[in-house]
Amino acid sequence: MSLPVLAGGVPGALARYRVIAVVTSTGLLVLTIVGLPLKYAAGSPGVVAVVGTLHGFLYIAYLLLTLDLAFRLRWPLVRLVLTCLAGTIPFLGFVAERRTTADVTRLLALRAGSPTPAR
């Protein structure tokens, strides 16, 4: 089996992606679970105004760091698009982060010649 040629800095790019994926996903959960009910049920739009804006900025960072990781790993376009979209669906960002981390960790272990790490 031939392994793909990787650009340098993959572990750092993965760490940055993991942090922004968790932070962005958490912000989206707060927005949807707390902010939207408060806005529409209680008529209090404050949480949506603050967390919604924050999530927007974090999502832009998420896109940039996902692109960085994707270019370093030479991901297919479909995987890049699906991973980017995961930041817009509650809970899916966490799933994408776990899957991406497992895939990249496995790939790095294979490149280093060590057995696949235990889960």
C-alpha to C-alpha distances, 22 to 9, 27, 37, 38, nearest whole angstrom: 20, 9, 22, 23
Is residue 3 in a domain? no
**Structural domain containing residue 60:** 10-111
Instruction: Give the model confidence (pLDDT) of 7-24 as tens digits.
Output: 789 999 999 999 999 999
In a domain, 117, yes or no: no
Instruction: Give the pLDDT of residue 112.
Output: 83
Residue 88 CA: distances (Å) to CA of 42, 60, 75, 85: 24, 11, 20, 6
Task: Tell me which residue has tokens 């927005």.
Answer: 31
Residue 28 falls inside a structural domain: yes
Whether 70 maps to a domain, the answer reads yes
Residues 6+ away with beta carbon under 8 Å from 13: 65, 68, 69, 72
Number of domains the chain contains = 1
| Residue 95 maps to a domain | yes
Q: What is the pLDDT of the chain when averaged over all its residues?
A: 90
Does residue 118 fall inside a structural domain? no
Residue 42 domain-assigned?
Answer: yes
Tell me, what's the pLDDT at 1?
Answer: 47
Farthest-apart Cα atoms in the chain, separation: 58
Distance (Å) of CA 96 to CA 19, 87, 92 = 12, 9, 6
Q: Flag whether 4 is in a domain.
A: no
- CA-wise closest residue to 94 among 5, 40, 21: 21
Each residue's pLDDT, cut to its tens digit, for the chain (119 residues) gives 455 656 789 999 999 999 999 999 999 999 999 999 998 998 889 989 999 999 999 999 999 999 999 999 999 999 999 999 999 999 999 999 999 999 999 999 988 886 655 55
